[in-house]
Amino acid sequence: DIRLFSKFVSRRHATLVRRRRSDGSPYYRIFDGNLKGKTSANGILINGRKLQAHDLEDEDEVIFAPKVSAKYYLLKRENTPTDPVDQVDEYDITLINPGMIDDPEEWDN
């Protein structure tokens, strides 16, 4: 579970599912809401587009609510630790604390 603290984020705002491509390589798909079809109140934006589901790619930006976003980074195998315990497919989601950024509406002013 990843918890996002905002009055604009639903309790089950999005679901992140690990899947496998036909060649066996893993990827993650994010869904708005839960896997039973119940969507969040405000939806999710992926790279500025409101989507119900999306296969995440390196540097995709997911916006859950005003001032609540995550950036998805795919770590390349050559950039991951060499310890056998750490040799798993690693992914990083950067969560931004809403209090740490300015109001985006003020950026255009």
Rounded CA separation 55/30 (Å): 6
Residue 103 belongs to a domain: no
Higher pLDDT, 4 or 104: 4
pTM of the model: 0.67
In the chain, the number of structural domains is 1
Domain that holds residue 73: 14-96
pLDDT for 28: 94
pLDDT for 91: 54
Residue 104 belongs to a domain: no
8-62 pLDDT per residue, tens: 898 889 999 999 999 998 999 999 998 888 999 889 999 999 999 999 999 999 9
Q: What is the CATH number of the domain that holds 24?
A: 2.60.200.20
Longest dimension (CA), the chain: 51
pLDDT for 83: 55
The answer to whether 29 and 37 have CB atoms below 8 angstroms apart is: no
List the structure tokens of 81.
Answer: 């630790």
pLDDT for 75: 83
